[in-house]
Amino acid sequence: MKDFQNKVAVITGAGSGIGRALARDLAAAGARLALSDVNQVGLQETADSLGLGSDRLITEAFDVADRDAFYAFAERVTGHFGAAHLVFNNAGVALGATVEDMSYEDFEWLMGINFWGVVHGTKAFLPHLKAAGDGHIVNVSSVFGLIGVPTQSAYNASKFAVRGFTEALRQELEMEGGRVSCTSVHPGGIKTNIARNARMGAGVEKITGDVDKARRDFEKMFRTTPEEASQTILKGVKGNKRRVLIGSDARAIDSMQRLMPTAYQRIMVAGQKMMRK
């Protein structure tokens, strides 16, 4: 897809961060927008900042883990605009917890949003993208979909799953002719609220020491702005990239994993021990 003019773009997690930046960039490029977020206040703030009429913008607050709500949203979008061309499955949450101490409730909550939300968005809109004859699905994974990290097993599981799901879908779409495509996106540290709003489960202090300090230290590593991330993603869509890495840290982590596919784990353990001091 080389042009976003008049394309209908669906964005989840549009109430802040990368989702909000994507909405602004796509609006500037002439797209029509269908925005969602579980946070009604943030979603309305994004909508207000765009200054678009109902001919170019609709919004709906719902939880992407709710399959029925997502399918109802897809019907509303296509009923309102007559088509859908772009889907950005961007909504996501974070959880810090050790495998031993993590509750099933927290694990299921995260997987419902980070993985099942991507599945719901993909399956709800894919038939509409095919009907439009020109479409692209963007599924946001993470650098934690490339490497495993202590206290991030649930997040890792969800983001590895998004990557595998998207890469398999990409091949299926190519075998069907490639009129609809998809991209797996792997952001590094982005200056959003995801770490600040993360749930912290039991046992994290055994690995990180002071949990609040660990959270602050982690946020200090966030270098890339949501606006930079949005521009990189949209460039990847235009180039029909299979995988998009966002930020120098993402590129470094990708290289580390390729060069040291298992030995990188020793580096992660050493880094965690240093951060505890």
CATH number reported for the structural domain that contains residue 143 in this entry: 3.40.50.720
- What integer pLDDT is reported at residue 99 of this predicted model? 93
- What integer pLDDT is reported at residue 204 of this predicted model? 58
What residues act catalytically? 155
pTM reported for the whole predicted model? 0.90
Residue 262 is part of which domain span?
8-275
Residue 260 maps to a domain: yes
Residue 1 maps to a domain: no
221: exposed, middle or buried (Cβ count in 10 Å: 0-12, 13-18, 19+): exposed
Whose CA is closest to 23, among 50, 45, 3, 2? 50
Number of domains, the chain: 1
Taking the CA of residue 29 as centre, how many other CA atoms within 13 Å lie in the half-sphere pointing to its CB?
21
Tokens of 70: 């997502």
Residue 2 maps to a domain: no
Residue 226 maps to a domain: yes
Residue 93 maps to a domain: yes
Q: What is the pLDDT of residues 112-167, one digit of tens each?
A: 999 999 999 999 999 999 999 999 999 999 999 999 999 999 999 999 999 999 99
**Element of type H or E holding 240:** none
pLDDT along the chain (277 residues), means of 10: 95 97 98 98 98 97 98 98 98 93 95 98 98 97 96 96 98 95 94 62 58 53 85 98 96 95 91 68
Residue 43 maps to a domain: yes
